Structure 1
């Protein structure tokens, strides 16, 4: 258990520092992601090299549950500061290679693997911290603001990243990311977090992981959120295959691809803003249900793949649905997971998502060239509709 801090106001110093730090690091990371992709592609001339890099960064997620058990034993702040420092160092090495023309694909592969290991403990630690920064009654609003920071900066980074990399080069963008991560580490020094009480019961990591699985099994909200994580990761993976095929058939190419995902990200930002400002007010379970139905509608619209206005409309509806459902999921997690289990449960979710996406991508890749895009889109709509029905049955709307 933790000694909780008495958060009396929403915009307290700790949440503000965490929010601002997350926002600036999200922007720099989004720009660096564009730069990193171009750097690898320019140096190797092979898209497969980028695929291997991505796969190596995801590989450590297999061991995420054990890492989550370790996180729940540690003070909250050190993993966050150490994670940012390590990632800054890794990005510094890549920036140095870019500036000095000493590119090494082997080093990039190694850095991707190490970065995946760092993310394996940094992400659940960050998710564990967020609910402690605001009063419990402000969780939904705070989740909206965190979504705005993440989605807004990703949108700006993706749209402006290509221009910035073209003007200043990949090395500058990646070095900026390293500096932003160092700034986040510095800000975290001034964020007050609850102190974990010493553990009286001695258990090993596997026992702690089994305890987290038992908690998920006994809690209807957590069981549903685990299922949502698996199905949603699998349902959204085909988008990466469907959208390029639609845009190539329509003669829009990469421009249409960028416009689709830019529209989706913009709608996600709008949805988070509506929640954060209180325009959208409902119980987390009701918001989850309507968000899932919004995603059903989006995939139905996407099935009309030959009608471009409907395709772009699907991107907007999809973004709104994702933002609303994602905010609701964050609040349900904070309400349902005891503080001393958060690292383990969030790590379980990360492992499930990491397993679902590549499996579904492989399955869809085998059929995407042999069936119409509309069939795949309607299958995704059916999957999301099934989730909405199950959510209403398991959790209700209140």
Structure 2
């Protein structure tokens, strides 16, 4: 554990995060419009997104591995594999003009599998890089700078897709993964390992079970994945219809890219607020405020689905997302002992992510049949319900404190 927020590993970690988010924003726009241009169907885009998310069902097992393996080398291997897949898809699109949907969806599944380790491992690494007193600021910096890079990547991606088409943006994303892998080689992370009773390694499924028992000790940790499942299930259709909606409104890729860029600006603003406030605002209160902002934003977009209103709402929407996600990272770092962070983060990610592919598969047959703005209304109701559940949970939980551990080997 370092005694300072600013050290070589933290700076390199920030640089790696920035360039990775830039490349992923490029690819996000490019892949959406590659499928849209080939199929003219929001349903097909929804299915491709669902394929990329299906591997998250394996996240709990990966989380247990995160808590017993060294963090650095699996992260680097994941980046190399994802970079290779993106270069293959982008190169095929550049050479052939069109890529078969089975190849795009297959690459989406493999990319999802390769990326399983990065979420829980990245989250578990932060407390090892900075002192506990700086966790809120570190998470704020990571969230703000990451979304700043996402903003630039979104604007660049929209411009590249409009001017030269999707393949070039996908190729640039592939290269960004190799850059991140190189940067991570310079980061110093501690050796990690989970020991069971008697000092020996426990079975993988036993470690998954112990992670669930840790979560069961806190009402907030029980409610968090339920709320995330509800929210992500409602947001999945919105993610799928936005590119088509902007094309219908005459905005093309540029309008969609501007929406994502404004949303990113809001997330950056939230990160700056968290950095400025430090520990002076409770994470649970900020999360409740974020849920309220996102519910109001979607309600406005549902009522007035016009380009100017959508773009204005995107900024407030991003602020709400930032006030949910960054404080939630800090809250988990405060509640969960370090040896269990990988399992808890992965369990939360799996449960919340399941909502997206299931929702996309269920709604894809009617996604193009119903009025596109209707899905904003669904998201507004879900965000509002999530806010009510969250406020109830934190009010009935009482004083939050680190979960006491006596589960390993029980």
Could you say which TM-score interval applies, normalised by the shorter chain?
Answer: 0.7 to 0.9
Instruction: Determine whether 1:384 maps to 2:386.
Output: yes
Contact 1:289 1:397 in 2 (8 A): no
Deviates more, 1:43-52 or 1:143-152: 43-52
User: In the aligned structure 1, how far is the partner of 2:361 from the partner of 2:40?
Assistant: 24
Query: 2:403 corresponds to which residue?
Result: none
Q: In the alignment, which residue of structure 2 is the partner of 1:316?
A: 315
Q: Deviations over 1:176-196 (max 9, x none)?
A: 222221121111111111112
Q: Does the C-alpha gap of structure 1 residues 316 and 279 become closer, same or farther in structure 2, counting only changes over 3 Å?
A: farther
Cα distance, 1:354 vs structure 2: 2.0
Give the aligned CA root-mean-square deviation in angstroms: 3.3
In structure 1, distance between residues paired with 2:312 and 2:104 = 38
TM value normalised by structure 2: 0.83
- What CA distance in whole angstroms lies between the structure 1 residues aligned with 2:47 and 2:379? 27
Alpha-carbon distance between aligned partners in 2 of 1:49 and 1:85, rounded to the nearest angstrom: 28
Counterpart contact for 1:283–1:397, Cα < 8 Å:
no
Shift of 1:41: 4.6
Asked if the contact 2:78–2:115 (Cα under 8 Å) also holds between the matched residues in 1, the reply is yes
Shift of 1:25: 1.6
Q: 2:72 aligns with which of 74, 77, 80?
A: 77
Structure 1 residue 384 displacement after superposition:
3.3
For 1:164, the equivalent position in structure 2 comes to 160
Between stretches 80-89 and 286-295, larger displacement belongs to 286-295
Matches within 5 A, 1:1-398: 5=1, 7-42=2-37, 49-101=44-96, 104-105=99-100, 106-197=102-193, 199=195, 200-240=199-239, 254=252, 259-278=258-277, 281-305=280-304, 312-361=311-360, 369=370, 373=374, 376=378, 379-395=381-397
Name the CA shift for 1:207/1:281 in 2 (closer, same or farther; >3 Å).
same
How big is each residue's C-alpha offset from its partner over 1:202-226, in whole Å with a ceiling of 9 and x where there is no partner? 3222211111111111123322322
8 Å contact kept, 2:223–2:390 = no
1:22 CA drift (Å):
1.1
Give the Cα–Cα distance (whole angstroms) in 1 for the partners of residues 222 and 148 of structure 2: 30
Deviation sequence 1:56-78 (CA, Å, 0-9, x none): 22121112112222222211111
Contact 2:72 / 2:184 at 8 angstroms: preserved in 1?
Answer: yes
- How many residues align structurally? 392
- CA distance, structure 2, for counterparts of residue 114 and residue 242 of structure 1: 24
How has the CA–CA distance of structure 1 residues 246 and 32 changed in structure 2, closer, same or farther, with 3 Å as cutoff? closer
Q: Is the 8 A contact 1:291 1:320 kept in 2?
A: yes
Q: Distance in 1 between matches of 2:118 and 2:61?
A: 13
Aligned-pair distance for 1:35? 2.7
Change (3 A) 1:293 1:70: same
Are 2:220 and 2:394, in contact at CA under 8 Å, matched by a contact in 1? no
With structure 1 as the length reference, what TM-score do the two structures score?
A: 0.85
Q: In structure 2, how many angstroms separate the alpha carbons of the residues matched to 1:157 and 1:109?
A: 23
Deviation of 1:330 (Å): 0.6
Name the SS of the counterpart of 2:395 in structure 1: helix
Residues 279 and 21 of structure 1, relative CA distance in 2, 3 Å threshold: same
Partner deviation per Cα, 1:330-351 (whole Å, 9 max, x = no partner): 1011112222222222221121
Cα 1:163–1:187 change in 2 (3 A) is same
Give the whole-Å Cα distance in 2 for the aligned partners of 1:16 and 1:378: 38
Query: What residue ranges of structure 2 are gaps of 5+ in the alignment?
Result: 401-410
- Cα contact 1:244–1:257 (8 A) shared by 2: yes
Greater shift in the superposed pair: 11-20 or 53-62: 53-62
